[in-house]
Structure 1
Amino acid sequence: MSSYLYRLARFSYRRRVLVLVLWLVAAIAAVTIAQISGGKTDDDFTIPGTEAQRASDVLSTKLPAFSGGQSTIVFAAKDGARVTAAQGEIRTAMAKLSSVPQVSKSVDPFTGHLVSKDGRIALGQVQWSAKPADVKDAGLDAVNDAMKPVRAAGVQVEYNGSVYPGWRFEISETPELVGLVIAFAILMITFGTFAAAGMPIISAIIGVVTTLMGVTAVASVVTIASASTTVALMLGLSCGIDYGLFILSRHRANLLRGVPPEESVPLAMGTAGSSVVFAALTVIIALCGLTVVGIPFLTIMGLSAAAAVAVALLIALTLLPALLGFAGHRVARFSRLPKFGAHAERVARRTAADPDSTAGAAWSRFVVRHRVLVTVAGVVLLGVLAIPAASIRLGLPSGASQPTDNTQRKAYDLTTEGFGAGFNGALLVVAQDVSSPSDTARIAAALGRQAGVAQVTPLAGQNGVSLIRVVPKSGPNDSATQDLVHTLRDDRATLASGTGAHILVGGTTASNIDVSAKLSGALPVFLIAVVGLAFVLLTFAFRTVLVPLKSIVGFLLSMAAALGAQVAVFQWGWGKNLLGITPTETISFLPIIMLAIIFGLSSDYEVFVVSRIKEEFTRHGDARAAVQRGTSLSARVVTAAALIMFSIFVAFTFTDNPTIRAIGFSFAVGVFLDAFVVRLTLVPAVMAIAGGRIWYHPKWFGRWVPDPDIEGQRLEERLADGHFGAEAAQAARTARTPVGAEAAGR
């Protein structure tokens, strides 16, 4: 592999104008197609095969007017007044909605008898004929316009439901801009030059633009959740910068030794590039593994993020060498800014003179010397952080998890105040094969006698199908509501006794319960599939079984600790005032997404660190010395890469969307713990304990499994033999001497 990467980088360097033009054309084409297609994301979480989805399908066929989204309009009188004072304005406004395109029915609070006992709060209902994702913005704007006279009358108007004005989540550019600024600062500290700091960021931005525009174009024909583009953005930026950082570090080290740029770029790619390829493939495998759980929106999310990582990899292998060709020696010239250039130059010069004087070298010596104590302490720390994960409760976001200034949150709180939490998450019971209205009435009466039911209202009947709204006494994410859904489904025969009807329990709340249940059941299958595939890949890369096993155990520790932190903060509410969050259930798809992302990224750092250790071990065969030197040489670049990824994820915790905020926080904690506690601490400690045994593999493995040459040993041999020319051979010799200068780029 290293030889192929060497040739690819040499081609990209020499044909840099062509490579740059091709990538710019690809980015422009993606933007153009996305604009023409008009694709938009949506957050309609449904899963084929669930009972809630079957209920929705029946409505689409038999009662199409009631198969779409629902909006609840909450009217609240101010200063102790009563909504009846504006009854005329409210009735007129709700009547106007009947003529709005895609609205099949609207019911004002007074006709629907949905006025609170104190007369201060009332609920209007709007039924759409289209699915939430298909409701046009013009229709939602018409709802807002119709409510203007009501607001003018001094009545507060808020919205809730599966679709409502302002429900679509627009991705803010602020988090990624903040992340990029922090990334640039970290790269300036690391490299001390504008050219080197800007190169990985520029290439990552081109890759992210290309990917996101492609995903947007696909969203015109496939349902894609807004979280999919956010996860793709997070990984595209972080992985793109990290891969560029790792290759650029090798390249700049070569330049500081005196290797010409034209030889340094392919040489850096032939060594560091192999690690980047295996790291990216592991992430891609983990993300594509989401397809095995059979959940459409997770499949799309995984494939979108995998596409972002794949593009980041291609960018690092082709566009980055081209950009380095344009930069020439400038990536090795230190800036005159004292905070950045002077520091980086001082570190580089000191490292060149004495490679064992760096902070990374001091840390690796400490870890190797106290390897047993460090291993125990690290495992105990992660174990303690993982304790809250045992109390995890899964659910999907409701209005209660939104910021207090969000209309959905205001509507949720007002509805709970006036009617009870259950009115925020009504169930829709679909009765099939109903022969008469009396059968519907009998079923509704049976439903009303169930414990935990606050109100039952028949909504419609047609084509042998009746639709009945059941309002629980508990909120949409309460365990009592989940128990009620299961009870209704278990007792469906009794509820429909004497009518010959068959009951399905659906609606948004039931759908969310089904989604959470299926996600929980899919988690073990996903874990086995992804860990198994990654185990095979890492075994092939390092040609040993013990390294992949160690990597997987370390990942499970960091994953459990990150999940524990997520539960403590977002579910228990630790630090809620500091972070401005509302404690709620853990998002049901977060654990499985965390498994994919953190496992992939942990494998990134595993490959970066262990490949350097293996490179050192291949040269001299001293396992413990290889651990110490390999860790010290990779510590600076892994630290920079992890801090960049951590910063990008943290930036997303400052968004208003609770889903994105929880994802950003969980990813940030997971990356931080995995990089610094596991990969730079536990991994070298365990490898130092194992010694040379860590590299053991059976003889048959060495004979039958091809060696990918991840450390670039065979490439160096071919270079030394003059296979790529005399200049390349001389460059390879220069890159290996003096030994200490290699760390100058780190």
Structure 2
Amino acid sequence: MSSILYRVGRFSFRHKWWVLATWVAALVIVAGAVGALQPKFAQDFDLPGTDGGVAMEQLQENFPAQNKQQEEPSTIVVVAADDGLARHADEIQSLVADLKTLDEVDAGTVFDPLAVAAAKPEMASAVIGDGGKIGLISVHQKINLMDVDVATKNQLLDVLEKHRGDGLKVEATGGVMSAQEPAGKAELIGFAIAFVIMIIAFGALIAAFIPLVTGIVGVGLTMMLVTLSAEVLSINQAATAIITMLGIAVSIDYALFIVSRYRSEAARGGDRADAAGRAVGTAGSAVVFAGLTVIIAVAALMVIGIPIITQMGLGAAVAILVAVLAALTFIPALLGAFGRFAFTPRIPWIRHAEESKDSDSLGVKFGRTLVNKPIPFVVAGLAILIVAAIPIKNMTLGMDTVTDDQVAGQELMAKGFGAGVAGPLVVVMHTDEGTIDAAANTAVAKIKALPGVAAPEMVSWTGNGPSPQNPNAGADSAMIIVTPLSSPSSPQTHDLVEAIRDTSGAVEAQGAEIHVGGQTAIMSDLSAKLDKALIPYLVVVVGLAFLIMIGVFRSIWVPLIGTIGFVFSMLATFGITTAIFTDGTFGLIDHTKPLLSFLPIFLIGVVFGLAMDYQVFLVTRMREEFIHGMSAKDAIVAGYRHGARVVVSAAVIMISVFAAFMLSPDTTAKMMGFALAIAVFFDAFLVRMVIVPGLLALLGNRAWGLPRWLDKLVLNFDIEGEKVRDRGLPSTETPVAVGGNSPEPSPSGTA
């Protein structure tokens, strides 16, 4: 493989303008297609193959009018006054009048709750609660949910703000309140931090600029490809954030590794095209295998069978693939375009920007100390991870995706009408044997008797009969709206969903089938499905990656230590994330919530792949030096000399990109960004930089071998680039100028 990659790197360097033009052409073509087709992302959750998914399919087929309403935003505006709403009748009337002026609003469905309660006393409990202190106003807008944007949301917020005050509280939840600010701010912050780190890493401006350009091109192309796929596939918008987040971090990281190795190879002498070939043949091999590990980890999310998780996984896999291709072709082409100016202008006050065999960097000093006394470092690293993992005992999972600006409205609704009013269940029934009357009446009676149902006396069924005046007559399908007493993400609501489904025996005896749908039921099904998929997914990911690492490192101990270390870093990540976002430790989060149900399984996939990145980039250099004659401990120190600065820079960039998403006003985005950032911190700095090298130092030569029978079965991938290590070099290596006109010290190129 290294020979092939050597030729790819050398070709890209020598034919730089053609390679760069190809990348630009790809961007232009895909951008043109996106501009012409204007594809839109989906915003609804679909869960085919589950009871909730079947319910929504039947709702779409048998109740098209109600289904269409569900595809349009219905925002609940909540009004509250401690002295009673009756004292604010004029303000509420004015609020209702202004709500009717919103764009595309169905004015005929916007009612003053006080007027409704007065005209129809039997409906009063549905719109007035808490002894007349809290009221509900439903605002339905004839806009497709996929077309709702921040401008629509802001128009509503302006109306709400206008009518707040004088003792009247006005909040909103659901509908257009789910619209999010467009992405961009977090990405820009991540790029800015990455640029500063790369300046420090390279000590030169242009070299720092090259990975940044690569990241922009790679992520831009990936996101346009994902957007384009939304034209023919249902791609949920929620899947795009993690694709962007991961694409930025990995694109910059891989570029950083290639540029750093090119600098070392150029300093050894010979033609620069050969130096680019050697860089791609050596560091590029590590990029390919690291990328393959990440792709396996995220693409394996398909085994869960949940569309949005599959979309996240496949989108992330595309991002990784583009990042790998850019590192192998786009980076050497850029290096060729800049030529001898690639490492200019120099920043003289940045020390240790280059490898040196004459002076020791902090990484080398740390590595030497670690291999001399590994046990204290290993024990300290494990102790930190164990302490961080302790709060995991309080970890709860749920699908509370309510944004922070909806929390006030949710709390008022829960106070006045119960926590479940924000997440009604949609029970759908159908029969192919006559009418649904008997089965529907049986289901209503069973549901009324269940614990956890709010206002059971209000539970009734609506049919799909041919007469709009009496839809229950001649109906073969029925719909029942059930409001739980508990919140949508609570275990009690999940139990109620299952209890309704357990009535299927009685319903089937009447010749019908029953299913429970709605977003609350679908979220409950999603959580249950994720719980069942966690162990099989973990086996698939870790098993495949373990086999790949055996081939990469030609060792049993290195993959085993790396995998066990990953388990410790994951436990620590879940523990500290639970402490902050669920327990409210340190008061960093205003609105605590359970961890997202898909967070553990997604973190395992993404972080395992990233962890193996650092394992590959750091440990392969150690093995490279070991097989070229160094002792086991000296090889570890050499790995720190050549790789510590780059790995640390890459990890800090990754952490910065993820942490930038914590600036989002939404707790869910903060949770995702924090969990990914702290996971990379634990795994890169404690596991890969301390625990793994420490244990390898204890094992000595035993760490770097395979049993004879297994050695014969494992292919030699030559990830260290043995075949291209000295290709294109003169017989005696000489220092060459790699930045400016003056020669620079030649770092050690061989053991």
Superposition TM-score tier, normalisation by shorter sequence: 0.7 to 0.9
Q: Distance in 2 between matches of 1:6 and 1:98?
A: 60
Partner AA of 1:39 in structure 2: P
Partner AA of 1:415 in structure 2: M
Larger mean Cα displacement after TM superposition, 429-438 or 374-383? 429-438
1:652 corresponds to 2:661: yes
Partner AA of 2:230 in structure 1: A
Indicate if the aligned counterparts of 2:105 and 2:141 stay in contact, CA closer than 8 A: no
Give how far 1:470 is off. 1.5
Q: 2:288 aligns with which of 277, 281, 287?
A: 277
Q: Distance in 1 between matches of 2:320 and 2:509?
A: 58
Quick one: structure 1 residues 414 and 368, their matched pair in 2 at CA, closer, same or farther if it must change by over 3 Å? same
Q: Distance in 1 between matches of 2:375 and 2:609?
A: 27
Aligned to 1:54, what secondary structure does the other structure show? helix
Quick one: structure 1 residues 499 and 262, their matched pair in 2 at CA, closer, same or farther if it must change by over 3 Å? closer
Larger mean Cα displacement after TM superposition, 619-628 or 141-150? 141-150
Identity %: 36
Q: 1:354 aligns with which of 345, 351, 358?
A: 358
Quick one: structure 1 residues 259 and 119, their matched pair in 2 at CA, closer, same or farther if it must change by over 3 Å? farther
Indicate if the aligned counterparts of 1:14 and 1:322 stay in contact, CA closer than 8 A: yes
1:667-718 deviations in Å (ceiling 9; x for gaps): 100101111100010111111111111122133444443311111112236x
Partner AA of 2:2 in structure 1: S
Q: Distance in 2 between matches of 1:394 and 1:150?
A: 38
1:505-547 deviations in Å (ceiling 9; x for gaps): 2221111111001011111111111111111211121222222
Give how far 1:25 is off. 1.2
Match of 1:255 in 2: 266
Indicate if the aligned counterparts of 2:104 and 2:142 stay in contact, CA closer than 8 A: no
Match of 1:468 in 2: 480
Match of 2:370 in 1: 367
Match of 2:220 in 1: 209
Match of 1:431 in 2: 429
Indicate if the aligned counterparts of 2:149 and 2:179 stay in contact, CA closer than 8 A: no
1:503 corresponds to 2:510: no
1:442-494 deviations in Å (ceiling 9; x for gaps): 64344233222112433621132222221122111222222222222224445
Q: 1:412 aligns with which of 410, 413, 419?
A: 410
1:79-107 deviations in Å (ceiling 9; x for gaps): 74436546766777899999968x99778
Indicate if the aligned counterparts of 1:255 and 1:332 stay in contact, CA closer than 8 A: no
Match of 1:116 in 2: 129
Q: List alignment gaps of at least 5 residues for structure 2.
A: 465-474, 737-742
Give how far 1:14 is off. 0.9
Give how far 1:45 is off. 2.5
Q: Distance in 2 between matches of 1:244 and 1:563?
A: 30
Partner AA of 2:56 in structure 1: S
Q: 2:633 aligns with which of 624, 630, 633?
A: 624
RMSD: 3.4
Quick one: structure 1 residues 731 and 292, their matched pair in 2 at CA, closer, same or farther if it must change by over 3 Å? farther
Residue pairs, 1:469-548, within 5 angstroms: 469-493=481-505, 496=507, 501-548=512-559
Larger mean Cα displacement after TM superposition, 257-266 or 625-634? 257-266
Match of 1:62 in 2: 62
Partner AA of 1:591 in structure 2: P
Aligned to 2:478, what secondary structure does the other structure show? strand
1:274-297 deviations in Å (ceiling 9; x for gaps): 111111111111111111111111
Aligned pair count reads 715
Give how far 1:143 is off. 9.8
1:212-248 deviations in Å (ceiling 9; x for gaps): 1111111233222333211111111111111111111
Q: Name whichever structure is richer in helix by fraction.
A: 1
Q: Distance in 2 between matches of 1:149 and 1:630?
A: 60
Partner AA of 2:341 in structure 1: R
Match of 1:380 in 2: 383
Aligned to 1:466, what secondary structure does the other structure show? strand
Indicate if the aligned counterparts of 1:259 and 1:731 stay in contact, CA closer than 8 A: no
Q: Distance in 2 between matches of 1:138 and 1:226?
A: 14
Residue pairs, 1:86-97, within 5 angstroms: none
1:604-647 deviations in Å (ceiling 9; x for gaps): 00000111001100110522221222133211110111001111
Residue pairs, 1:43-442, within 5 angstroms: 43-67=43-67, 68-69=70-71, 71-76=74-79, 80=83, 81-82=85-86, 84-85=89-90, 109=113, 110=116, 112-113=123-124, 114-125=127-138, 132-133=145-146, 158-161=171-174, 164-333=175-344, 335-336=346-347, 341-344=348-351, 348=354, 352=356, 354-355=358-359, 357-399=360-402, 402-403=403-404, 406=405, 408-433=406-431, 435=435, 440=440
Quick one: structure 1 residues 709 and 382, their matched pair in 2 at CA, closer, same or farther if it must change by over 3 Å? same
Indicate if the aligned counterparts of 2:75 and 2:177 stay in contact, CA closer than 8 A: no
Match of 2:652 in 1: 643
Aligned to 1:248, what secondary structure does the other structure show? helix
Aligned to 1:165, what secondary structure does the other structure show? helix
Give how far 1:136 is off. 6.3
Q: Distance in 1 between matches of 2:647 and 2:388?
A: 23
Q: Distance in 1 between matches of 2:666 and 2:621?
A: 40
Q: 1:595 aligns with which of 584, 596, 604?
A: 604
Indicate if the aligned counterparts of 1:555 and 1:602 stay in contact, CA closer than 8 A: yes
Q: Distance in 1 between matches of 2:713 and 2:335?
A: 38
Q: Distance in 2 between matches of 1:714 and 1:365?
A: 29
Give how far 1:502 is off. 3.7
Indicate if the aligned counterparts of 2:459 and 2:481 stay in contact, CA closer than 8 A: yes
Give how far 1:251 is off. 1.4
Aligned to 2:186, what secondary structure does the other structure show? helix
Quick one: structure 1 residues 152 and 562, their matched pair in 2 at CA, closer, same or farther if it must change by over 3 Å? closer
1:449 corresponds to 2:449: yes
Indicate if the aligned counterparts of 1:385 and 1:564 stay in contact, CA closer than 8 A: yes
Q: Distance in 2 between matches of 1:442 and 1:263?
A: 79
Aligned to 1:414, what secondary structure does the other structure show? helix
Q: Distance in 2 between matches of 1:214 and 1:285?
A: 20
Quick one: structure 1 residues 488 and 670, their matched pair in 2 at CA, closer, same or farther if it must change by over 3 Å? same
Give how far 1:504 is off. 2.0
Partner AA of 2:411 in structure 1: D
Q: Distance in 2 between matches of 1:145 and 1:365?
A: 60
Q: Distance in 1 between matches of 2:52 and 2:100?
A: 30
Aligned to 1:730, what secondary structure does the other structure show? coil
Partner AA of 2:203 in structure 1: G
1:152-191 deviations in Å (ceiling 9; x for gaps): 9997654433xx1242334331111111111111111111
Match of 2:564 in 1: 553
Q: List alignment gaps of at least 5 residues for structure 1.
A: 720-727
Quick one: structure 1 residues 655 and 686, their matched pair in 2 at CA, closer, same or farther if it must change by over 3 Å? same
Quick one: structure 1 residues 209 and 18, their matched pair in 2 at CA, closer, same or farther if it must change by over 3 Å? same
Q: Distance in 1 between matches of 2:595 and 2:157?
A: 36
Partner AA of 1:354 in structure 2: D
Give how far 1:499 is off. 5.6
Indicate if the aligned counterparts of 1:105 and 1:128 stay in contact, CA closer than 8 A: no
Partner AA of 1:444 in structure 2: V
1:35 corresponds to 2:28: no
Q: Distance in 1 between matches of 2:683 and 2:693?
A: 13
Residue pairs, 1:725-736, within 5 angstroms: 728-730=728-730, 733-734=733-734
Partner AA of 1:378 in structure 2: G
Larger mean Cα displacement after TM superposition, 63-72 or 544-553? 63-72
Give how far 1:441 is off. 5.3
Quick one: structure 1 residues 383 and 731, their matched pair in 2 at CA, closer, same or farther if it must change by over 3 Å? farther
Indicate if the aligned counterparts of 2:436 and 2:478 stay in contact, CA closer than 8 A: no
